Amino acid sequence: MTYWITFDCYGTLIDWERGITNALLPLLPRGTDRTAVAARYIEIEAEVEKGEYLRYRDVLDRAGRRVLAENGRPLTDDAPSPLPSSLPSWLPFEEVPEALAELRHRGYRVAILSNVDRDLVAASPKTALPVSARVPHGRIAASIGTVNGRSARSSQPYPARSPIRYDRTSQAVR
């Protein structure tokens, strides 16, 4: 029998806060507090996610722009947001590569399940995340009966926005 262990990617395997702040701090006034930026970003992202469904790259864009604007460094509408393009450079927590490798060595299949856009998850550092599968936004892990954010039209698991569940064959069950 094959056993799977699944993990969310950002904030669990990848140091999400450091990735966010590494992308934003160079655009903020010198001496801006990293911890304060991370805390405010988290608050703003939660506000953005409460609204209509957005792809995660759009959540990153809107929340990042608000943090910059609140700190007196607004981006022009035609300027690219730094967050979506920075995501592939975000690194895992220090202990993660070794821990995932050990799980695989013990015979477990390891998968990333994420509410992040498929191209962003696919661009995560592959050598640092030794996993058997990456199941990003818009894909269903049929073998383990999982739903992701895009198929439920929600970047977060709010029941009111996620009325669909999936059975093991990836068929929507209402």
**Residue 54 corresponds to which amino acid?**
L
Cβ atoms 156, 52 nearer than 8 A: no
Q: What is the pLDDT of residues 33-86, one digit of tens each?
A: 999 999 999 999 999 999 888 998 999 999 999 999 999 999 999 998 999 989
User: How much is the pLDDT for 148?
Assistant: 45
Least confident range of 5-19, 32-46, 81-95, 118-132? 118-132
Beta bridge partners, 8, equal none
Specify whether 8 is catalytic.
yes
Which of 8, 77, 78, 119 is labelled catalytic?
A: 8
Contacts for 97 with CB less than 8 Å, ≥ 6 apart: 128, 129, 130
At residue 125 the predicted structure's pLDDT band, cuts being 50, 70 and 90, is low
Nearest by Cα to 123 from 9, 7, 8, 5: 9
